[in-house]
């Protein structure tokens, strides 16, 4: 897309997205709400100590050229502007994939997770193997005990360098109230704990768009959302005097050094199409070259499996913060 | 304290609808219609941008050699003859096709009388009288690419040569729908239409006030009536259908001519008394009357193309718009979820001072369905600063 002409009056270049056109064709086109975004803006260019004065602090930002609108609905509105009804905020919460808890660690030395496409692939390893393979997930719904040992956790919190400390409460107006989760519907389904510690369940999507991206709306009352005070935080607040090392335990398991928000726990599973056919791997994937070796010695050698790399996107409905989690789906030949 | 959010719901006062008519000027030069592209034997001696068909019902003009995927269809030309024409007989070449084309166009553009008979083209738009019927008609059917929703009334101007073969500066007729904007008719099943008026240079057209003696202009039969500027009705333009219908007698002299009568004074155009102007066709030079009886439709269309000097009209696109007013109040959209907005979790634009008002920069407006699917998006040409001291109203117009 070209840049918009910014030499004269301010203009608005408006287009329907491909999803909008598709809905129009289905007779379901109805706009009911809007959001504002600051895509293309790099706030690192903001210079609050500009030598010419505060009027010049955003000079470079205001000169940012703006691209024409894309029509792909998933390519836009990645960074939204947020309405918070007070001006005295110095910190805003962010998301981090929790890489500290054993259950939610990604593959070593990466930020990505691996999912076995089908039972044939996961059965190549023993359950002990898989337990030892950090960041590897079952792609099919098997024994619950195994399922609950692996999660992708997205934590909300404040990085404050300890001021305010992790023991402080997150302000109520910054706590996430709901999450939008997007994943490729051809490849993945959204499963998560049902909260009883014994089952995981599939969540229903809100819609699947023209690019086969499914969107799930998960409120913080769902069993897969914990907090804002989970087990460690409860221990922290209740038993700090009794267990003085609790704070250390907490810091070892939490991604933030400031106040904590809720945690979203996902256990994505593969679609039937991915489980039963390798067609998508031929079309979207690659041959695996990295050797995957379990503790028992079982391994998937180079050229014996295929993989597809995809993303799971999580957006906070309250703060608009967005995080992409890389996921690799592995299928044995 | 209410939780933050990035969605804001439209209320009824944030939305309105409008209708706008958008016009584009469409100029078509004669060089495009004949002469620009090489004639090829593979195309029966015609230019590469002229497509002819084995069915011989019409021919098509493209803006580029039609075998190219870059070519756009501009318009079609065809000829029709009513069964009651004085030229009509069983010996006329392809008479059935000429009658069929006439009837087909008349069915669509004129409709039927109360007895179910197809109404003839009428040069004055008055179907109730027998005056002014066009028995031999030339059809210019413009493609939707050019016409869009309709031809703008009063904007049609067509120049045709009246001399031998091609057009010349001294012998040409200018055809306009001069009364189109306030004198059009609504009694066609194909929408509104106006009368096309011909005015010719060098006093070569019959029926002009300046040369015709006798009855006043208004007392003459309507088919030969001229106005004070010497214009004479010669056809119809159907604005929504995008079709111009001209009487073939525009190229004829003498008195033995079907309605609405010959337009040319004897010899005025050709400088040969009593002789109609010659047309250049693939089968050689010919005159309109001879062509109507002795040539097939495609050859006649070739001759007419070669008389084409230029054409212009304005098209009309009807834009139905919904305007959304996206309002950002003083206490809204002042923070951002942009990863660069924060250093750690600290807001950069505050410069470390909690009392500094927040600010953000708007570049994009996203419009969503109830289930949060992005349906439309609008980009600003430059960032707009948003902070608690200002309010913005962004007007987003979606055209359908």
User: Of A105, A82, A154, A99, whose CA–CA distance to A323 is shortest?
Assistant: A154
Tens of pLDDT, residue by residue over B179-214, are 666 678 899 999 999 999 888 766 666 654 333 333
Same domain? A164 vs A313: yes
d(CA A141, CA A260): 31
- Residue numbers of A between 176 and 235 with CB closer than 8 Å to B: 177, 180, 206-207, 209, 215, 217
| Position A305 pLDDT exceeds 80 | yes
Q: By the CB < 8 Å criterion, does A322 face chain B?
A: yes
Q: Evaluate whether residue A251 is within a structural domain.
A: yes
One domain, residues A159 and A59: no
**Based on the domain organization, do A161 and A305 belong to the same domain?**
yes
Whether residues A223 and A278 fall in one domain: yes
pLDDT of residue B117: 93
Beta-carbon count within 10 A of B46 CB: 23
In chain B, which among 360-399 make CB contacts under 8 A with chain A? Answer: 360-386, 388, 394-398
Asked if pLDDT for residue A246 goes beyond 80, the answer is: no
Q: Is A21 part of a structural domain of the chain?
A: yes
Strands A188-189 and A286-287, sheet pairing: unpaired
What gap in Å lies between CA A129 and CA A143, rounded to an integer?
A: 15
Q: How many angstroms separate the CA of residue B317 from the nearest CA in chain A?
A: 18
Residue A12 near chain B (CB below 8 Å) = yes
Q: Is residue A83 part of a domain?
A: no
Per the structure, the count of domains in chain A is: 2
Positions of chain B with pLDDT under 50: 1-2, 208-223, 256, 271, 273
pLDDT of residue B38: 79
Q: Which residue of B has its CA nearest to A178?
A: B5
Name the residue of chain A whose CA is nearest to B389's CA: A87
Nearest CA-CA distance, residue B201 and chain A, Å: 47
**A-contacting residues in B 308-327 (Cβ below 8 Å):** 324, 326
Are A198 and A311 in the same domain?
yes
Residue A232 sits at φ, ψ, to 5 deg, of -65, -40
Q: Is the pLDDT of residue A273 over 70?
A: yes
3-class secondary-structure state, position B247:
strand
**pLDDT, tens only, A157-195:** 999 988 888 888 888 889 999 999 999 999 999 998 876
Report whether B362 contacts B380 (CB < 8 A).
yes
Give the pLDDT confidence score for residue B209 in this predicted structure.
38
pLDDT digits 0-9 by tens, A93-106: 999 999 998 889 99
Q: Test A34 with B359 for CB contact under 8 angstroms.
A: no
Contact B287, B277 (CB under 8 A): yes
CA gap A310, B297 in Å, rounded: 62
Residue A85 inside a domain? The answer is no
Q: How far apart are CA A74 and CA A185, in angstroms?
A: 14
CB within 8 Å of B287: residues ≥ 6 apart: B251, B275, B276, B277, B278, B279
Contacts of B380 in chain A (CB under 8 A): 4, 10-12, 66
Same domain, yes or no: A19 and A113: no
Give the model's pLDDT for residue A157: 93
Q: What is the pLDDT of residue B204?
A: 66
Q: Does A19 touch chain B (CB under 8 A)?
A: yes
Helix (H) or strand (E) holding B104: helix B95-109
Interface contact flag, A85 B371, Cβ < 8 Å: no
Instruction: Let me know if residue A81 belongs to a domain.
Output: no
The answer to whether A93 contacts B2, with C-beta atoms less than 8 Å apart, is no
Tell me how close the Cα of B191 comes to any Cα of chain A, in angstroms: 28
Q: Is A314 within a domain?
A: yes
Q: For residue A65, what is the nearest residue in chain B, using CA coordinates?
A: B382
Contact B365 A175 (CB under 8 A): no
Residue B12, chain A, CB below 8 Å: the answer is: no
Q: What is the pLDDT of residues A3-44, one digit of tens each?
A: 988 888 888 889 999 999 999 999 999 999 999 999 999 999
Q: What is the structure's pLDDT at B170?
A: 62
Tell me, yes or no, if A25 comes closer than 8 A to chain B by beta carbon: no
Residues of B in contact with A318 (CB under 8 A): 3-5
Task: List, in sequence order, every residue forming a beta bridge with A265; answer none if it has no partner.
Answer: A153
Residue A266, domain member (yes or no):
yes
CB contact under 8 A, B345 and A158: yes
**In terms of domains, do A43 and A157 share one?**
no
- For residue A320, the model assigns a pLDDT of 87
Confidence of residue A60 (pLDDT cuts 50, 70, 90): very high
Q: Is residue A257 within 8 angstroms of chain B, CB to CB? A: no
Nearest CA in chain B to A89: B354
Task: Indicate if A67 and A111 belong to the same structural domain.
Answer: no
The reported pLDDT for the residue numbered A146 is 61
Tell me how close the Cα of B387 comes to any Cα of chain A, in angstroms. Answer: 9
Residue A67 forms contact with B (CB below 8 Å): yes
Q: Is B148 helix (H, G, I), strand (E, B) or coil?
A: strand
Substitution target in A15, A37, A48 with the highest count of B β-carbons within 10 Å is A37
Residue A323 has pLDDT above 50, yes or no: yes
Is position A118 within any domain?
yes
Q: Are B240 and B149 in contact (CB under 8 A)?
A: yes
Listing DSSP states for B179-201 in one string gives TTTTS-B--STT--EEEEEEEES
Half-sphere exposure of A228 (CA within 13 A, CB side): 23
Q: Confirm or reject contact between B9 and chain A (CB < 8 A).
A: yes
Per CB-CB distance under 8 Å, the chain B contacts of A44 are 340, 348
Q: Are residues A298 and A262 in the same domain?
A: yes
Least CA distance to A214: which residue of chain B?
A: B373
Are A55 and A104 found together in one domain? no
Secondary structure string (H, E, C) spanning chain A: CCECCCCCCCCEEEEECHHHHHHHHHCCCCCCEEEEECCCCCHHHCCCCCCCCHHHCCHHHHCCCCECCCCCCCCCCCCEEEECCCCCCCECCEEEECCCCHHHCCCCCCCCEEEECCHHHHCCCCHHHHHHCCCEECCCCCCHHHHCCCCEEEEEECCCCCCCCCCCECCHHHCCCEEEEEEECCCEECEEECCCCCCEEECCCCEECCCCEEEEEEECCCCCEECCCCHHHHHHHHHCCCCCCHHHHHHHHCCCCCCEEEEEEECCEECHHHHHCCHHHHHHCEECCCCEECCCCCEECCCCEEEEEEEEEEEECCCCCEEEEEEEEEEEC
What pLDDT is recorded for position A243?
60
Residues A162 and A281 placed together within one structural domain of the fold: yes
A 97-156 residues inside an 8 A Cβ radius of B:
none
CA distance A309 to chain B (A): 23
What mean pLDDT is reported for chain A?
A: 88
Which residues in B lie closer than 8 A to residue A17 (C-beta atoms)?
374-377
What is the span of the domain harbouring residue A108? 94-332
| List of chain A residues whose C-beta atoms are within 8 Å of the C-beta of residue B332 | 83
**This prediction's pTM:** 0.79
Verify that A114 and A257 share a domain, yes or no. yes
As a whole number, mean pLDDT of residues A231-247 equals: 59
Question: How many Å lie between the alpha carbon of B350 and the closest alpha carbon of chain A?
Answer: 7
Which residue of chain A comes nearest to B321, CA vs CA?
A: A14
Which A residues in the span 74-93 are in contact with B, Cβ-Cβ below 8 Å? 74, 76-77, 79-93
Among the listed residues B239, B209, B247, the one whose alpha carbon sits nearest the alpha carbon of residue B148: B239
**Cβ B371–A217 below 8 Å, yes or no?**
yes
Closest chain B CA to residue A41:
B361
Q: Do B188 and B172 meet the contact criterion of CB atoms below 8 Å apart?
A: no
How far apart CA A13 and CA B377 sit, in angstroms, is: 8
């Amino acid at each position: 897309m070209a840049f918009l002409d910014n030499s004269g009056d301010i203009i608005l270049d408006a287009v329907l997205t491909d999803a909008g056109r598709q809905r129009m064709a289905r007779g379901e086109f109805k706009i009911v709400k809007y959001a504002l975004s600051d895509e293309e803006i790099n706030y690192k260019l903001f210079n609050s100590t500009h030598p010419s004065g505060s009027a010049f602090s955003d000079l470079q930002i205001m000169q940012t050229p703006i691209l024409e609108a894309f029509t792909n609905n998933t390519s836009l509105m990645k960074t939204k502007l947020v309405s918070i009804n007070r001006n005295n905020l110095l910190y805003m919460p962010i998301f981090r994939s929790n890489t500290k808890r054993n259950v939610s660690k990604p593959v070593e030395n990466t930020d990505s997770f691996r999912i076995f496409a089908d039972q044939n692939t996961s059965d190549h390893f023993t359950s002990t193997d898989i337990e030892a393979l950090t960041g590897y997930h079952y792609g099919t719904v098997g024994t619950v005990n195994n399922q609950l040992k692996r999660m992708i956790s997205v934590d909300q919190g404040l990085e404050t360098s300890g001021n305010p400390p992790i023991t402080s409460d997150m302000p109520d107006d910054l706590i996430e109230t709901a999450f939008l989760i997007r994943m490729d519907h051809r490849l993945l389904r959204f499963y998560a704990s049902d909260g009883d510690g014994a089952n995981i369940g599939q969540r229903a999507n809100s819609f699947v768009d023209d690019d086969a991206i499914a969107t799930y709306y998960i409120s913080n009352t769902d069993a897969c959302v914990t907090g804002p005070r989970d087990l460690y935080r409860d221990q922290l607040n209740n038993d700090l005097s009794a267990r003085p090392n609790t704070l250390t335990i907490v810091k070892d398991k939490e991604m933030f050094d400031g106040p904590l928000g809720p945690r979203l726990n996902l256990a994505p599973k593969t679609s039937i199409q991915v489980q039963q056919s390798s067609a998508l791997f031929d079309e979207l994937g690659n041959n695996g070259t990295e050797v995957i070796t379990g503790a028992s010695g079982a391994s998937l050698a180079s050229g014996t499996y295929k993989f597809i790399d995809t993303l799971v996107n999580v957006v906070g409905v309250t703060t608009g913060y967005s995080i992409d989690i890389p996921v690799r789906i592995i299928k044995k030949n | 304290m209410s939780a933050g959010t990035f969605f804001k719901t439209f209320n009824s006062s944030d939305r309105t609808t409008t209708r706008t008519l958008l016009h584009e000027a469409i100029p078509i030069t004669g060089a495009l219609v004949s002469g620009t592209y090489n004639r090829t034997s593979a195309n029966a001696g015609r230019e590469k941008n002229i497509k002819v068909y084995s069915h011989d019902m019409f021919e098509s003009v493209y803006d580029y050699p039609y075998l190219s995927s870059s070519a756009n269809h501009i318009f079609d030309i065809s000829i029709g003859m009513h069964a009651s024409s004085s030229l009509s007989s069983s010996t006329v070449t392809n008479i059935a096709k000429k009658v069929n084309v006439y009837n087909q166009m008349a069915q669509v553009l004129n409709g039927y009388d109360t007895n179910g008979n197809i109404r003839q083209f009428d040069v004055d738009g008055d179907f109730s009288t027998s005056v002014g019927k066009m028995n031999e008609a030339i059809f210019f059917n413009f493609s939707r690419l050019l016409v869009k929703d309709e031809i703008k009334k009063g904007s049609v101007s067509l120049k045709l040569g009246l001399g031998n073969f091609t057009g010349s500066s001294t012998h040409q007729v200018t055809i306009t729908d001069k009364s189109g904007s306030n004198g059009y008719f609504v009694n066609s099943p194909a929408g509104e239409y106006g009368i096309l008026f011909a005015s010719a240079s060098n006093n070569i057209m019959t029926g002009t006030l300046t040369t015709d003696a006798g009855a006043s202009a208004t007392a003459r039969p309507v088919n030969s009536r001229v106005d004070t500027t010497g214009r004479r009705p010669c056809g119809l333009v159907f604005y929504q259908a995008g079709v111009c219908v001209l009487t073939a007698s525009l190229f004829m002299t003498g008195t033995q001519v079907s309605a609405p009568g010959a337009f040319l004074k004897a010899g005025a155009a050709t400088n040969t008394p009593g002789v109609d102007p010659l047309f250049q066709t693939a089968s050689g030079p010919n005159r309109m009357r001879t062509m109507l009886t002795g040539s097939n439709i495609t050859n006649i269309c070739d001759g007419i193309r070669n008389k084409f000097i230029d054409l212009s009209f304005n098209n009309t696109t009807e834009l139905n718009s919904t305007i959304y007013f996206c309002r950002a109040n003083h206490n809204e959209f002042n923070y951002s979820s942009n990863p660069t907005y924060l250093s750690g979790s600290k807001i950069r634009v505050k410069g470390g001072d909690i009392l500094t008002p927040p600010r953000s920069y708007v570049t994009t407006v996203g419009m969503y369905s109830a289930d949060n699917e992005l349906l439309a998006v609008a980009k600003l040409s430059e960032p707009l600063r948003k902070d608690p001291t200002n309010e913005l109203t962004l007007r987003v117009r979606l055209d359908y």
